[in-house]
Structure 1
């Protein structure tokens, strides 16, 4: 029985292989249409539960930054009518969802106190959508659950040795999910950094943003090994390494007279 399930899982993985924008192999089990429907439903639900900031000028500022970034997306994502809203929430957070939805908390606007910092945040979140990280995470969870089912069957058919195998799979599954999530964050950082540079936002402000985040956390962050996000220190170092490749893009935007000018 378990051999059949294992074969089925492997077949699904082979048929669902994809490549991320950075060339990383992915397994994506869900279609773009399915992901968009889920993203739109989640966004609509949030708008009902979370109050929106009714400040047209602030929303226009966030929309301006988003509009600068969108032309640097793949054609299939450029054509979408991206909806942007500012949520009334002091938590410094932002997100983008499949289905062309973007949300920024008012608290993030306080922390990201210039256009380039906010472009780094929004570019990062759009990067998650571009790289289909949500699809990948859902696909990982689906396969992990199938794997646990196989292990349960084995455990039911065997002795204490199988129970140990079941426990080991659970730990391994958790490790894989955490590892992939950190990869997603780093990948989205790189994608966002390149987008903001091409759009005429100073990419060095992404480093300044994360320095501010590090100061805000006050050293209370969970150690990176146990976190789904890279530590601020790791993230800053990674962003600094990428400057060599993205600063020429920004300098080219300057030369072309394409610097961003979004104001609050």
Structure 2
């Protein structure tokens, strides 16, 4: 009887921690602190990129510890899969598993804060492989655009990437030549970044960007993933949170969603610093939502590593409000830039 009560208590505790973590991050703080000078925007940008241990605990602590606990208690046994001498699934509702999971969840938080650079370097060979495969996949499956069309893509994209690379070099000391920003002919609107400063934007994303300010928001978001070393943090999570234990995946989804929100915030600051209208960032997600629809919040928690389009749009509006005074007083702004006309 005591054993059953203990198991039920552990499960309920884990679920409570999960839902608190997910829903606490689903809503945007309504308080807006105006950023009216460039030095304030740059200082805030550094804070967003380099989260402190306390901030990592506040944002992802509950999901990390709950994910560690559940991953240690319920999952897939490699011994069972590879040898056949044991069950392919394991269930371990013991105090030892609880302690182990809580320790691993805590270590994952510490590693995300202090070991993200080593993990980022470890992830680079895999990232390079993914990027190279995507290029090969694009070359094999799609006809190469005509030279005239490629030139038009470049005329739209290159000025934006040049300005953003210059801002990142100025603010973070990352040389502009480190970055490789390309476009690929994939059908689904998307963009991705690797830990090795490689970014690809699919041609199908250009109409949703609509203008160069929208493209700055998209590229700034992908640069945000690289600057915050999210690929390395994902590798850290794989090691500490036992992602082979399928039960932990909904918890790690909450962490991934927070990273997407962090990249959105970095992206809008980079957009404003580059001279593009930051209010276009929320409009981009409005267009994406109209194009692809919007999952319900509760469903999205379990199924997606990204926040809902509505959540992202509302969060970006809050950041726009904070940047409004800075952008309004910034000399030589570019506004929306060129419209995409292809």
Q: Same fold (TM over 0.5)?
A: yes
Matched residue of 2:239: which SS?
helix
Q: Which residue of 2 aligns with 1:158?
A: none
Distance 2:234 2:117 in 1: 10
Aligned twin of 2:135? 47
**TM-score, structure 2 length as denominator?**
0.59
Q: How many angstroms does 1:219 deviate by?
A: 4.7
Cα distance per residue 1:86-142 (max 9 Å; x no partner):
111221111121212111101001221111111111111111111111111111011
Aligned residues of 2:178 and 2:197 also touching (Cα < 8 A): yes
Q: In structure 2, what is the equivalent of residue 101 of structure 1?
A: 198
Distance 2:244 2:272 in 1: 42
Match of 2:227 in 1: 130
Structural mapping, 1:128-167, within 5 Å: 128-145=225-242
* Contact 1:29–1:139, Cα closer than 8 Å, also in 2: no
Q: CA deviation at 1:49?
A: 1.5
Q: CA deviation at 1:221?
A: 6.5
**What's 1:201 paired with?**
276
Name the structure, 1 or 2, with higher relative contact order (CA <8 Å, separation 6+): 2
CA shift for structure 1 position 146: 8.7
**CA contact under 8 A between 2:123 and 2:195: conserved in structure 1?**
yes
Relative distance call for 1:17 and 1:98 in structure 2 (3 A) is: closer
Distance 2:180 2:160 in 1: 13
**1:50 alignment partner, SS class:** helix
Q: Which moved more, 1:222-231 or 1:59-68?
A: 222-231
Q: 1:245: which partner in 2?
A: 322
Are the aligned partners of 1:16 and 1:29 in contact in 2 as well (CA < 8 Å)? no
Whether contact under 8 Å (2:221, 2:268) holds in the other structure is yes
Deviation larger for 228-237 or 191-200: 228-237
Structure 2's unaligned 5+ residue stretches are 1-95
Pairwise CA distance, 1:143:
1.0
Partners of 2:199 and 2:264 in 1: CA distance? 17
- Contact residue 243 and residue 249 of structure 2 kept, 8 A: no
Deviations 1:227-250 (A, max 9, x none): 221111111111111112222332
Instruction: State the match for 1:71 in structure 2.
Output: 166
Match of 1:231 among 308, 316, 331: 308
Q: Secondary structure of the equivalent of 1:103?
A: strand
Question: What corresponds to 2:249 in structure 1?
Answer: 174
Task: Measure the CA separation in 1 of the matches of 2:313 and 2:243.
Answer: 37
- Whether the 8 Å contact between 2:182 and 2:201 is mirrored in structure 1 is yes
Say whether the 8 Å CA contact 1:83–1:102 is kept in structure 2: yes
User: Structure 1: 5+ residue runs without aligned partners?
Assistant: 20-26, 149-169
Aligned residue for 1:24?
A: none
Q: Is the 8 A contact 1:53 1:106 kept in 2?
A: no
Question: Which residue does the alignment assign to 1:34?
Answer: 122
- Once residues 200 and 14 of structure 1 are traced to their aligned partners in structure 2, the CA distance between those partners, rounded to angstroms, is 35
Corresponding residue for 1:154? none
* CA distance 1:71–1:229, change in 2 (3 Å): same
Structure 1 CA distance for aligned equivalents of residues 125 and 267 of structure 2: 24
Which moved further from structure 2: 183-192 or 74-83?
Answer: 74-83
Deviation of residue 263 (structure 1)?
A: 6.7
Measured in 2, the distance between the counterparts of 1:18 and 1:64 equals 34
Mark the structure with the bigger radius of gyration: 2
Cα deviation for residue 9 of structure 1 reads 5.3
Which segment drifts farther, 61-70 or 77-86? 77-86
